[in-house]
Amino acid sequence: MKQKEGQMDFTGKRVVITGSGSGIGKKTAEKFLEPGARVMISDINEKFLAQAEKELKAKGEVAGAIADVCNYEAIEALARKAMASLYVLRRLAEEEDSANALLLISSDYATFITGQTLSFSGGYSFVG
Ligand SMILES: NC(=O)c1ccc[n+]([C@@H]2O[C@H](COP(=O)([O-])OP(=O)(O)OC[C@H]3O[C@@H](n4cnc5c(N)ncnc54)[C@H](O)[C@@H]3O)[C@@H](O)[C@H]2O)c1
C-alpha cells in the first residue's frame, strides 16, 4: 500500500467483505472504496445486499454476492469469484486449460516457442 500525505491508497487492490449488507461490514466496504479499492460485498440477506450495493456504487467499484459464512462451499465459491475477478478472462484456470497448454508446447505447433515467453495467466500478466 502506497501512502501519500497521510492518505491511504488502495488503487488496484481487491477486497472481499462478508456480512457487509449492513452495519460494520457495510461501513468497512465504504472505507475501502474511498481510497480506491475494488470491493466485493457479501451477505446472507438478499435485501440488505442489494441496498448496500446500490448505495456503495456511488463510492466506487463494488460487486455483491450472496454467501452464508457458515457454509464452507458458499465461502469457497465466493473466494473463487473474487479471485476470478483479478483475471481479464474473469475465471480461474481449469485443469483442462493447463493440460491444453502442455499439449500445445509439446506439439508440432510449437516449433518456435522457447517456453520463456508463453503466458499462462488468463490475462492477469497484462494488467496485474
Ligand atoms: N455494532 C457494534 O457496535 C458492535 C460492537 C462490537 C461487536 N459487534 C458485533 O459485530 C457483529 C456485526 O455487527 P453489526 O453491527 O455490523 O451487525 P449488523 O446486524 O448490522 O450486520 C451484520 C450483517 O451480517 C449479515 N449476516 C448475518 N449472518 C450471516 C451469515 N451467516 N453469513 C453472511 N452474512 C451474515 C447480516 O445479514 C447483516 O447484514 C455482530 O456480531 C455484533 O454483535 C458489533
> Does residue 103 have a pLDDT over 50?
yes
Pocket probe mutation, ligand 1, options 16, 17, 18, 24, max atoms within 8 Å of Cβ: 24
Report whether 81 contacts 55 (CB < 8 A).
no
Cα separations (Å) of 5 from 11, 14, 33? 16, 23, 18
> Does residue 26 have a pLDDT over 90?
yes
How high is the pLDDT of residue 128? 46
How high is the pLDDT of residue 3? 58
Q: State how far the Cα of 80 lies from the Cα of 43, in Å rounded to an integer.
A: 16
Does pTM surpass 0.95?
A: no
Angle in degrees, CA 126, 4, 29, rounded to 5: 70
> Does residue 4 have a pLDDT over 70?
no
How do residues 37-87 score in pLDDT, each as one tens digit?
999 999 999 999 999 999 999 999 999 999 999 999 999 999 888 888 777
Q: Whose CA is nearest to atom 12 of ligand 1?
A: 24
Q: Whose CA is nearest to atom 14 of ligand 1?
A: 23
Query: In order of start, what are the domains of the chain with their CATH numbers?
Result: 2-84 (3.40.50.720), 95-127 (no CATH)
Does 12 sit in the ligand 1 pocket, CB within 6 Å?
A: no
- Name which of 31-40, 68-77, 101-110, 114-123 the model is least confident about: 114-123
